[in-house]
């Protein structure tokens, strides 16, 4: 048998072996493209209740810069690099005693050198109503001293799978003495009904 004929047989053998693998990999690739449900838009309205002082604060500083000279008595704001852990109730109305509909849990990092702003990485988990057991994920910066601002919604769980959208914030109450902050949230999200 000459060498060319031998190479020809090897080539045919390889083609027969690789063809099924190619067919299998293509069929698996096609399985990845399927409908995940109908996209819908949901709007939510709730209030974020934060307590910084007292026996049971809902937000506490867990880390900060080694040199704390930026934070003195004339500047009560957290210095650049401060990390705060948050577990705040979300309520139906602005009154702190109104019905709790969920919890905002996560981190806030003081990330501005020129102005007071925080980077929020939070989960708004809902504990009642139509969205009980579902949550929205927020990853966004917030200039906390402005009365009105916006957070980006980048994901979610449960009925909010693949959510994207925003929350318009309006600070209703910010008392430095008592350490109580109440913020109104108007959320608009696109997500899929699965």
Global model pTM greater than 0.85: no
Backbone angles phi, psi at 75, to 5 degrees: -130, 90
Extents of the domains making up the chain: 1-34, 38-69+76-193
Q: Which residues fall within 8 angstroms of residue 37, CB to CB, at 6 or more apart?
A: 192, 193, 194
Burial annotation 16-50 (CB, 10 A radius, 16+ → b, else e): eeeeeeeeeeeeeeeeeeeeeeeeeebebebbbbb
pLDDT score at 1:
52
CATH number of 38-69+76-193: 2.40.480.10
pLDDT < 50 positions in the chain: 13-15, 21-30, 69-74
């Amino acid at each position: 048998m000459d060498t060319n004929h031998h190479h020809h047989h090897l080539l045919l053998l390889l083609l027969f072996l690789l063809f099924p693998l190619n067919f299998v990999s293509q069929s698996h690739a096609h399985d990845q493209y399927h409908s995940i449900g109908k996209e819908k838009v949901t709007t939510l309205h709730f209030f974020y209740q934060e307590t910084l002082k007292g026996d049971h604060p809902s937000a506490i500083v867990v880390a900060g810069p080694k040199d704390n000279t930026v934070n003195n008595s004339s500047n009560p704001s957290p210095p650049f690099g401060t990390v705060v852990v948050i577990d705040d109730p979300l309520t139906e109305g602005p009154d702190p005693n109104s019905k709790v509909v969920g919890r905002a849990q996560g981190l806030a990092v003081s990330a501005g050198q020129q102005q007071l702003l925080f980077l929020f990485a939070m989960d708004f988990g809902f504990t009642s109503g139509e969205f009980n057991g579902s949550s929205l994920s927020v990853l966004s910066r917030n200039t906390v001293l402005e009365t009105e601002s916006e957070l980006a919604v980048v994901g979610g769980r449960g009925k909010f799978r693949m959510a994207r959208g925003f929350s318009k914030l309006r600070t209703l109450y910010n008392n430095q003495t008592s350490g109580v902050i109440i913020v109104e949230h108007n959320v608009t999200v696109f997500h899929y009904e699965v």
